[in-house]
Each structure stands twice: as structure tokens, then as C-alpha cells.
Structure 1
Amino acid sequence: MFKYGRYPLPNDDDEYKREAMRHTMLKELLGGKLFLAPIGDSPQKIVDLGTGFGEWAIEMGELFPSAQVLGVDLSPIQPVWIPPNVEFIVDDIEDEWVYANDFDYVHLRIVGMSIRDNGKLHQSILDRNLKPGGWLEVQEVVPHPGSDDGTIPPDSALLKFYTVCGEVFQKTYGFDMEYAKHVPEDLERRGFINVEKKVWHAPIGDWPRDPKLRTIGGYMREIIMDFAGAMAARPFVEYGMDKTEIDELLVGLREALGDRRVHAYLPLHYIWGQKPPAGP
């Protein structure tokens, strides 16, 4: 693996399951859409940074067969059989990378909380990789469970879990799980125009009455439990938690996720911005 250990979660079968489930959930949330930025009907060059197992990049290649789609990740974990217009490469997106300076669309999905300097990455994308008029889209979770009816108790194990995760990522790895809240202002400050944001509240668990939202909530519950297992395997240990602490946290989380009286959700932020078009 390139730069082994840089990414704190394992790239194993469980990670693949979680990514595949998350991909399906996000498509369900967006009514089948893969993106929200107004990139038009015929983008020619697309790059997916932190592509993971590559589902998004592959489906974009199928959706836009005339486009070149590039997926970039630290690990060579993508499938071999892919559309002819899709390519995967192994690289660190925080390093100097000069694949092209004429991308129509740059995509990052749930990558920012494992990037040490998102602002620097945004600036590099603007200066080096987007063509004039091209778009950057950032899709991220804000790790603050909420509820519209106040049913999350203050001592909820769900809240505690995300509080601990934030401390672990910040103090152990230097990552900021809160960064998505500041992306719109950061993009505007760096020179992007037409910056927009939309927020969805993805339910956690099968408490919603609406069948679609109940399906999304079921996905989200499983994703969180799988994520908790991955955190227990390495990050919690490296943070200094002992087995008893970890087990108590996970048992409490599992109980909280199964309580249908708690109408919890996680905010999902979709932010996009455009590189100014070239002058006359």
C-alpha cells in the first residue's frame, strides 16, 4: 500500500462493504443522482479524489461515456474490470500532483476528515487542476447527530461516540471532522465563485414512517456500526483507549442505534463552487 498507515481505517472487506453501502445510501438520498454541481451534459475530464473502491468513478464513466474519468487513492483497491474511459492511479492527493490542469469537474466525497489541510487542497485544485469555468464539489458528513423533536438525550451514547471520534481524529492524526461546516467560506475566500450548499438530514435507524427514509436510516445505522468497528480496530487503540472502554462505547452505541424512540439524523453537506471563467 502506498504510504501505508497514512489512512487510519483499514482497506479491507468490511471497508468495502461500508463504502458500497454508503454509495447506495447517498444515491438513494439524492434520488439516484451522483452529483449536484451544474457540470452540464458533456463534461470531458472528471477526477474523483480519494476514490476508495471506485464505485462513484465507475458510474460516472458509465453516465458520461465520452468523458475521461480518473480516480485517485492511496490504495490500489479498485476493480480490474472497469469502463474503458475510467482509470485509477495510486497517489497522495495532498502531495504535488499534476495530472492535468483542465478538469471540468473535481469531486471529493467523505474525504475531508482524513485530509490534514483541506484549504491548501482546495487552493491547489483551483490553481492547478480546474480549467476556467470548471467545478469542484465536496460531499461530507457533519458528525453531529441531531433530531428535530429533541429525542436524543444529552447522555446519548451516539453523541458520545462522535465526540470521542472527533478527539481521536484531531489529537492522534491531526484531522478535523468539523471541516465541512467551513467549506463554503473557504472556497469563496480562495477565489471560487457561484458557491452553493445543500444539506440533507439522513435518518439513523428505521424510525421514519416514510419507506424511502426508513431504508436510508437502515443503511446509515449499519454504516455507523461498521465505522465503529473500524475505529475500534486501530484509531481508538492508538488514542490510548483500553479494551474495556472501547467495548463499553460500542455496546452503548449499538443500544442507542436500536432505540426507535430516538429520531436521530446525521447532516450531509453538499458544497460546490466554480473556477472563474477565462476573461475575454
Structure 2
Amino acid sequence: MIGAITYWQGLAQKAIQNLEPGGYFEIQDYLYPLFGNRDDGKWRRPTYTNGRSIWWRRRSMLPHGSRKYSKMQASSPSEETRHVPIGGWPRDPTLKWTGRIVGGMLTDNLGGTSSALFTRHLRWTEEKMRVYLARVRKELQDHDIEALSRVYAVWGRKLLDAGL
């Protein structure tokens, strides 16, 4: 649902309202653009982040989420930020596996997450967009890029006395 929800607070509020008192909730979201893991000066921004930075607005409420959840009948909201690799470049087997899944997910969904940006906002033709996204897909396979994304998670419980 990357980029599909612009009003996270409203979605979270509805989710919490529909919980039984004491019920749990959790919301996770990726925040783009991608950033680099390299400290040797070889980091270059992937083509994908260059195009999206033209239009990409802040899609996530999660970087400041727990403060907002505490106002929505949620007790003890917690939050966590993690850096997740894009692609199979990490040496650690778990991160490599995670990176391959996330990279595959991003690659598979490029058309859906990008078509409005390129065709409506930038007025590109479908053909120009397809050529560009083919280059992006190729870059996502390049282990020299060592791209990362930030993943935010917020979770908590509905107050036991909420709505009584």
C-alpha cells in the first residue's frame, strides 16, 4: 500500500474505534526515498529515487505516529524504526533474504506505484515510463547501490475503558 494512503491518522482512528477495549493494533509503513549504506563514497542515488523526489510527498504519519496514537484512545503506543535493505546485497543471511523479498516486492510493484507520477504529473508517455522503469528494475539488481529504506512500525492497545 506504499503511497496509497495519505491520511494515516484517519485510517488508524477507524481501526482503533473498531477494536474491542484492550484490543491490539499495529501499522507499518515504508518511507521513501531510498538511501545508501555505503560510507566509501561510492553511493549513488538510484534512478528510482531521482524521479520520485520530483513529486513524492510525505506519505507516512508513522515517523511521528505514537504521539498521535496516544490522542486516539490508545494506551502505551510504541514505535520502532528499522532500516531494511533493498536487494540481496547484505552479507548477513537474514538481511540478504529480507532484502531480496523487499527488492522483489518493490520491483513487482514499480508500475503501480509509479504510473500516476509519470503519466499524470510528469506527463510522460506510457512508452517513456516503461523504458525508465526497465532501467530502474535493472538498478535494483545492482549490489553496488546498497540501497536501504526506512520502515516505521507503531503499535499499541485500545484503552480498556474506551467508549464506556
TM-score tier, shorter chain, comes to 0.7 to 0.9
Q: Corresponding residue for 1:141?
A: 30
**Residues 221 and 120 of structure 1: is their aligned pair in 2 closer, same or farther, counting only changes over 3 Å?**
closer
Secondary structure, aligned partner of 1:166: coil
What's the CA shift for 1:195?
0.9
1:256 aligns with 2:145: no
Q: Corresponding residue for 1:218?
A: 100
Does the 8 Å contact 1:119/1:186 carry over to 2? yes
d(CA) in 2 for partners of 1:232 and 1:264? 18
Secondary structure, aligned partner of 1:213: helix
Matched residue type, 1:141: Y
Greater relative CO (CA pairs within 8 A, separation 6+)? 2
Does the 8 Å contact 2:29/2:60 carry over to 1? no
Secondary structure, aligned partner of 1:190: coil
Does the 8 Å contact 1:204/1:266 carry over to 2? yes
Secondary structure, aligned partner of 2:53: helix
d(CA) in 2 for partners of 1:204 and 1:220? 6
What's the CA shift for 1:272?
0.3
Q: Corresponding residue for 1:153?
A: 44
1:241 aligns with 2:124: yes
Q: Corresponding residue for 1:130?
A: 19
How many residues get paired?
159
Secondary structure, aligned partner of 1:130: coil
What's the CA shift for 1:232?
5.4
Question: Residues 138-188 of structure 1: CA distance to partner in whole angstroms, max 9, x if unpaired?
Answer: 02111231233345324x313224425726xxxxxxxx5233323222212
Q: Corresponding residue for 1:207?
A: 89
Does the 8 Å contact 1:197/1:271 carry over to 2? yes
d(CA) in 2 for partners of 1:133 and 1:180? 22
Secondary structure, aligned partner of 2:156: strand
Tell me which stretches of 4 or more aligned residues in structure 1 moved more than 6 Å.
none
d(CA) in 2 for partners of 1:143 and 1:149? 17
Tell me the TM-score normalised to structure 1 length: 0.49
Does the 8 Å contact 1:161/1:253 carry over to 2? no
Q: Give structure 1 stretches of 5+ with no counterpart.
A: 1-109, 168-175
**Residues 246 and 191 of structure 1: is their aligned pair in 2 closer, same or farther, counting only changes over 3 Å?**
same
Matched residue type, 2:90: P
Tell me the TM-score normalised to structure 2 length: 0.77
Matched residue type, 1:132: P
Does the 8 Å contact 1:138/1:272 carry over to 2? yes
- The two structures, once aligned, show a CA RMSD in angstroms of 2.7
Matched residue type, 1:243: E
Q: Which of 148, 156, 166 does residue 56 from structure 2 map onto?
A: 166
Matched residue type, 2:5: I
